[in-house]
């Protein structure tokens, strides 16, 4: 396993290099700059600021300077927030996004696994049809549609939760539901399919013939193999939850890293865009590595190759 992890880390280095290079040049080639404002800035002031941040240098020299800073662990200063570095902004706002992502992932797993298990146990029953119909509706509703609908129903009309903010416990409910329900729909369908395949295997029929209860057959014999498709899906699901938080944080006015990423893209805040892109890339790669390790643990036939 250690060899597998070391190899994956080495494979990550060129991937991050490509991501950093593409992001750097895409931001530089886009029209506008970090110091362009609606009201024209005097040329001498703009030139002095660009000189201070090294933006007057040739593009390739700026690129080498940025890469050198990253190799030293320095993400650089932020252009829109004076006296703040990109690392400070990420460290300050990411815990909020991490909490939102964790709550959303918990919602998606609890709702999705429960619905999928019920649908598999009661195959072709009203429970199966109802769960899969709701799952299909959840897949068809994107977060930017589901969020306002939940806000209208549960915050504005029912007054159960707050429509925006991140100060109280009930502020977390609607964002977590919005982001979690979308992926719960996929997890429910994957769980149903995986469980139906495992429940039709010979070893499950043998366990039932020996008098094992439904709960024992389900949780001791079938669940470990039945949720394998769900574990495989958790890698891209985590990436979707992380990037999907951009929309949810904007809809519910949550002070997370996603909002900084969106505003930095509009403001051409080069260092913050590049820093957040690389940070999310490292996060997604690490989670995918964790998912691969869990898959081998669930299925001993797989090996770290």
Parse the chain into domains and list their residue ranges: 91-267
260 near 276, Cβ under 8 Å? Answer: yes
Three-state DSSP state, 70: helix
- Token match 């029953």: residue? 125
Helix axes 126-140, 86-121, angle to 10 degrees: 150
Cα distance from N-terminal residue to C-terminal residue, the chain: 9
Residue pLDDT, tens place only, 255-298: 888 777 877 877 778 888 888 888 888 888 887 787 777 777 76
268 near 30, Cβ under 8 Å? Answer: yes
Three-state DSSP state, 40: coil
Percent of the chain past pLDDT 70, that is, above it, reads 93
On the CB side of 167, CA atoms within 13 Å amount to 4
> Is residue 153 scored above 80 in pLDDT?
yes
Chain length of the chain: 305
Sheet strands (E) in 68-132: none
> Is residue 58 scored above 70 in pLDDT?
yes
Cα distances from 172 to residues 95, 100, 194, 242, in angstroms, run 13, 7, 31, 16
> Is residue 38 scored above 60 in pLDDT?
no
190 near 230, Cβ under 8 Å? Answer: yes
Three-state DSSP state, 83: coil
∠ CA 28-19-243, rounded to 5° = 95
pLDDT tier, 253 (very low <50, low <70, confident <90, very high otherwise) = confident
Question: Can you tell me the mean pLDDT for 122-150?
Answer: 83
Tokens of 14: 């060129």
d(CA 289, CA 283): 10
pLDDT tier, 303 (very low <50, low <70, confident <90, very high otherwise) = low
pLDDT tier, 184 (very low <50, low <70, confident <90, very high otherwise) = confident
Q: What is the overall mean pLDDT for the chain?
A: 80
Tokens of 100: 């939102």
> Is residue 39 scored above 60 in pLDDT?
no
User: CATH class for domain 91-267?
Assistant: mainly alpha
Tokens of 48: 């002095």
Q: What is the pLDDT of residue 274?
A: 86
Looking at per-residue pLDDT, the higher value among 180 and 295 belongs to 180
> Is residue 30 scored above 70 in pLDDT?
yes
When mean pLDDT is compared across 43-52, 138-147, 196-205, 274-283, the lowest value belongs to 43-52
Q: What is the pLDDT of residue 76?
A: 81
């Amino acid at each position: 396993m250690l060899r597998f992890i070391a190899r994956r880390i080495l494979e990550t280095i060129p991937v991050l290099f490509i991501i950093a290079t593409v992001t750097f040049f895409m931001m530089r080639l886009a029209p506008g700059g970090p110091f362009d404002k609606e009201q024209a800035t005097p040329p001498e002031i703009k030139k002095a600021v660009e000189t201070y941040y090294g933006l007057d240098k040739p593009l390739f020299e700026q690129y080498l300077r940025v890469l050198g800073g990253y190799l030293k662990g320095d993400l650089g200063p932020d252009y829109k927030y004076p006296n703040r570095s990109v690392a400070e902004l990420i460290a300050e706002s990411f815990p909020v996004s991490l909490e939102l992502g964790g709550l959303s992932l918990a919602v998606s797993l609890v709702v999705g696994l429960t619905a999928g298990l019920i649908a598999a146990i009661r195959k072709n029953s009203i429970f199966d049809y109802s769960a899969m119909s709701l799952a299909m509706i959840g897949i068809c509703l994107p977060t930017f549609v589901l969020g306002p609908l939940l806000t209208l129903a549960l915050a504005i009309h029912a007054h159960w939760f707050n429509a925006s903010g991140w100060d109280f416990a009930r502020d977390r409910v609607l964002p977590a539901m919005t982001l979690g329900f979308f992926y719960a729909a996929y997890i429910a369908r994957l769980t149903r399919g995986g469980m139906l395949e495992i429940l039709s295997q010979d070893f499950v029929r043998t366990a039932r013939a020996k008098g094992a209860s439904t709960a024992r057959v389900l949780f001791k014999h079938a669940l470990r193999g039945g949720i394998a498709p769900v574990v495989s899906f958790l890698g891209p699901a985590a990436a979707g939850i992380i990037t999907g938080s951009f929309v949810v944080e904007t809809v519910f006015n949550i002070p997370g890293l996603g909002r900084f990423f969106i505003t930095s893209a509009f403001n051409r805040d080069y260092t913050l865009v590049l820093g957040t892109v690389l940070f999310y890339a490292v996060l997604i790669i690490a989670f995918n590595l964790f998912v691969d390790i869990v898959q081998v643990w669930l299925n001993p036939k797989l090996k770290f190759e």
